[in-house]
A and B are shown apart, each in its own frame.
Chain A
Amino acid sequence: MTLTLGLFIVLAAVAVASAVGLLVSRNTVYAALFLVLNFATVAVFYLLLGAPFIALAQVTIYAGAIMVLFLFVIMLLGADALPRRQVLPWQRPLAIALAAVLLAEAGFLLFQRVHLSANLANPEAAVNTTESLRTLGMALFSQYLLPFEVTSVLLLVAMVGVIVLTKKVKGEPG
């Protein structure tokens, strides 16, 4: 029993639990908070996997920006629970069944078919935080420059689009 293993199990449990919490909570805010917890857990996973930059980026972008955005919109729209109304009665049972099947398939594939015997190396081994960051930056600005620039354009477009979409036309009830 090591620290890593125990940490992993705990983290996995929390991750799954928060995901389930997102799934079932009636209150939208609670669901958002569950998701934030999930993101944090995943960030720790990244750390365990020796990707410090990504882990922090995860926290910053996902938990910090995106979820705040979500909460703003929840605030705008109201976190009321939707009235109970079943238009598609078969939807829930069928979805659960299919998900179960999919889980079984995935499990089968992972543990019976595909043999991934590789053990992941220790995080401290051969990983220098500053070094990995530098390498990442170098790769990003040399080899992956084009996607980088395109992504920046994408962000610009998204911003402009959002503003255009939500602009109120004069006289339109909002």
Chain B
Amino acid sequence: MTVQTIPLSWYLAISALLFILGALGVLIRRNPLIIFMSVELMLNAANLVFVAFARSFGVLTGQIFVFFVMTVSAAEVAVGLALIIIIFRNKHSIDVDLMNSLKG
């Protein structure tokens, strides 16, 4: 069986689509958890681009970078969720729109 290869640009297109969907999620949803998840989606899209290019150029650097991104995002999720819990404790609601005390 002949295996046809997939062009790089396809992978990039998928990545872009996922990224945009993640951005939409950040903008539209009011639940901070959903927003956070959308952010993870965006990070994933970026990771996909890295790996695609690593494969394209034949180096491992991209994969190493993805490794680090995953680590950092894990740490970031932990801290972020802790913050959301704290805010919930104070405000008893997780509507992002209620957190507008920085209003000018």
Please list the residues of chain A having a beta carbon within 8 angstroms of any beta carbon in chain B: 2-5, 8, 12, 15-16, 19-20, 22-23, 28, 31-32, 35, 38-39, 42, 45-46, 48-51, 53-54, 57-58, 61-62, 65-66, 69-70, 73-74, 76-77, 82-83, 85, 87-88, 91-92, 95-96, 99, 102-103, 106-107, 110-111, 114, 116-122, 132, 135-136, 139-140, 144, 147, 151, 154-155, 157-159, 161-162, 165-166, 173-174
Q: How far is the CA of A102 from the CA of B24 in the complex (A)?
A: 11
A-B contact pairs, 24 of them (CB 8 A): A4-B6, A16-B17, A28-B33, A28-B34, A32-B37, A42-B44, A42-B47, A48-B6, A49-B52, A51-B66, A58-B47, A62-B44, A69-B81, A73-B81, A73-B85, A85-B95, A99-B20, A122-B5, A135-B60, A136-B63, A151-B72, A154-B72, A155-B71, A166-B82
Please list the residues of chain B having a beta carbon within 8 angstroms of any beta carbon in chain A: 1-14, 16-18, 20-25, 27-31, 33-34, 36-38, 40-41, 44, 47-48, 51-52, 54-56, 60-61, 63-64, 66-68, 70-79, 81-86, 88-89, 94-95, 97
Q: How far is the CA of A93 from the CA of B96 in the complex (A)?
A: 18
User: Which of B60, B79, B88, B97 has the most chain A CB atoms closer than 10 A to its own CB?
Assistant: B60
Q: Which chain B positions have C-beta within 8 A of A95? A: 24, 27-28
Q: Which chain A positions have C-beta within 8 A of B11? A: 45, 49, 120
Q: How far is the CA of A130 from the CA of B23 in the complex (A)?
A: 37
Using known A-B contacts A110-B16, A158-B78, A165-B83, determine if residue A54 contacts B66 with beta carbons closer than 8 Å. yes
User: Which of A110, A111, A117, A173 has the most chain B CB atoms closer than 10 A to its own CB?
Assistant: A110
